[in-house]
Structure 1
Amino acid sequence: MRITVIGTGYLGVTHAACLAELGFEVMALDVDTEKVAALASGRVPFYEPGLEELLGEQLAAGRLAFTTDYEELAAWAGPGAVHFVCVGTPQQRGEYAADLTYIDSAFDSLARAVAPHGPCLLVGKSTVPVGTAGRLATRIAELAPEAELAWNPEFLREGFAVQDTLRPDRLVIGVRSEAAERRLREVYARLLAAEVPLVVTDFSTSELVKVSANSFLAVKISFINAMAEVCEAAGADVMQLAEALSHDPRIGGRYLVPGLGFGGGCLPKDIRAFMARAGELGVDQALAFLKEVDAINMRRRARTVDLAREQCDGSLLGKRVAVWGAAFKPNSDDIRDSPALNVAASIHLQGAQVTVYDPKATDNARKMFPTLTYADSALEAAHHADVILHLTEWQEFRDLDPAVVAGHVRDTRVIDSRNALDAAKWRAAGWTYRALGRP
């Protein structure tokens, strides 16, 4: 069996390299010629731990290749191939709904290319509004009658993408025939042999799994952040509250971490697209609660800006502010909808001189926000700062000695918006330590 992957973003590159690691011959396609050239030379154009090493190994082994040509890909794959489509579904500009332009184009181009080469299986992995697979199946039947569609949602966490592909906590496939199920069982045979749970379902249910999981996660994050708002008003400590809640087996402690909230290229746009699709289906009231989940998340950013202003005696005008973190989460250089950069830009607009440092995302941040100042280290960013904002919880920041940092700043004030620093240690070193949801 030969396998192809359409789209070489986080999902596509990881999926292609991991399928090659599982022993398949894989060809990946993207319309971006520069990206394809970089990948073919062994360079991943974004940061993901372990991925570049895996890519190099599979290229050297001859199991992985890249192209920009659908006809070349289809001819190489031949009959019986499995084609995974991993293109993006961004949020429409000015709307909540998902933009399906790229996925529609990818399936159209792929179906036309594979049509002369006999039976094959096309598999969607992108996160799409429920009902998309059914619509695409009709279109594929017109363009490539011998091709069949299946849906296989992804559950990758940036920073753990390779691990989540090779050792997932579950596999979900939406199919309309036993033949499609058998084919995907062959693809994932090694994972199934390792007792990874497999859920076989219909198209609509498989499409709902990813957005439902993301929505539940967003609810959990925003719940504890809502409790942080209450704790601030009541003089309580949200970290102690979260610890107490975590011991309840019905609740658990994972993602029950108060802080600046979620961002990135998935969670925000996925829950908004889910709300939009619910409205189209006439059940918008069923997901009305997600509007408040989104609002709570955004309020954490505004509260961090307010807290910075408070620490600067009521005005940010002319103040020097150090920002530690630009990526939306640690172990990534992804700045899409980054809470850290949103806060940094907001503070800059209020007249502060903002200096940003991130271990991996500084270059991406500089391209997106060129008016901010950037540093090559955490200590350089902190130089003569009136306040430090800890906005992305990289281990590098946790490991810093607050006594050493104190020698670089103008005023020893720190805002830990991720509740990740050792509060007692920083206070013992003479710092005024503030965090969201804590006294």
Structure 2
Amino acid sequence: MNIFASLDPSVKKLLGWKMGDEEEKWALKAVESLVKKLRKRKNSYIDGGGTVEDLEYALAHPGAHSKCVTIPRSLDGRLQVSHRKGLPHVIYCRVWRWPNVQSHHELKPTPDCMYPYDSRSEHICINPYHYQRPSLPSLPNTPRHATCAPPSVSPSAMSLQQSPGSEMLYGSHINGYCGNGPNSQSPFSATSPSALSDDDDFSTLGPMPLGSGLPLIHQTNNINNNMYYTNVEQWTNNVANENVEYWCSICYYELNCRVGEPFKISGSKMTIDGFTHPSTDEERICLGLLSNVNRNNTIECTRRHIGRGVRFNCKDMQVTALNLSESPIFIQSRNANFKYGLQSTAVCRVPPNSSMVVFDYQLFHNMLEKAKSEGYNHVYELQKMCFVRMSFVKGWGIDYHRQDVTSTPCWIEMQLHQPLAWIDSVLAPMDPPDHLNITSVS
């Protein structure tokens, strides 16, 4: 059935300017909702201004001066469209101008816009041509976010979103800020395009050096930071004696459905891309080969943007992710979040051509040693650090209409085998807690 067959003429006309492959039904509901709101006003000078005709003119004449087209601001500033909730100007910029816009941080109002989102007026302008998408947007200084950047990446290149409803492992607030503290480290390194060759071994990547004067996230966790960086030789002798055949396994998901079998990784480098090469290369996973009869348009569009994907490298007691694609990737790693003083469930946005340390084995080992003295529950809790989740193109968290990773179109979960083996060796001789009242009917 053609969902456009019996549409209101204005809705049908506005949908003619829709950009990209956003889900048609969702875009339809967004436009229908907007048309209803705009028709409640008699002319463009009431309730903030803007009519359906003003919007049509703006879309038909992108380079010409156009009026503000506004809707009333809701209590929380967001707009519900079908099962999604987001900021109005972001929603309509995604429909009509930038299908891949992820957050309001990427948008800046034009000087002639009288009702921009950040004006806090009673109305919000949703005219997509009253917003710009500069290459170097700025992030607001709010306690819900921490930002840092490598030398060649903008200060907003990294944004962090706290997934609501998630249990916190260490504390309930982001213990970090952008500064040049003596113990600060940055999760990002930038790399030039020439560094993206297949022979790249990440020798130049990793945490920023301390005291470099770059924007850094200050480490403020209440555990002595020095205990995590003991002598490497001592660490190797005491810990690296548990050999596992595969250092990690990777599962690929589309929404909440796993697609294909888990990939077990033994080599130190692994590239996950969106292409279709049928070879059994042990250092490459081609997601384009995987089929799924339940794919929707959003998943198909996202898969097309995976491109060269991401490369993971396990070297020097760290796992590093390098974004090779032309779209951002989004990573949730409790180990990395603890290392950089972030909330345990924070989501890091990694721009193209940038890298991030997603797991530090030495840090984890020392945390495990400390947890041993604190009991079974503390050791068991560390298993959450052994899983790293990463989505392609689409983000999730507080700034996105997708609130959890299972709502993103394409994502992977990495299971780290060595840390899990360490936890197992510690838990095995320990007695589980007997004070928990757990029964078969509780």
With the shorter chain as reference, the TM-score category is under 0.3
> Greater RCO between the two (CA within 8 Å, min separation 6)?
2
Q: Which has the higher strand share?
A: 2
Normalised to the residue count of structure 1, the TM-score between the two structures is 0.26
Q: Which has the higher helix share?
A: 1
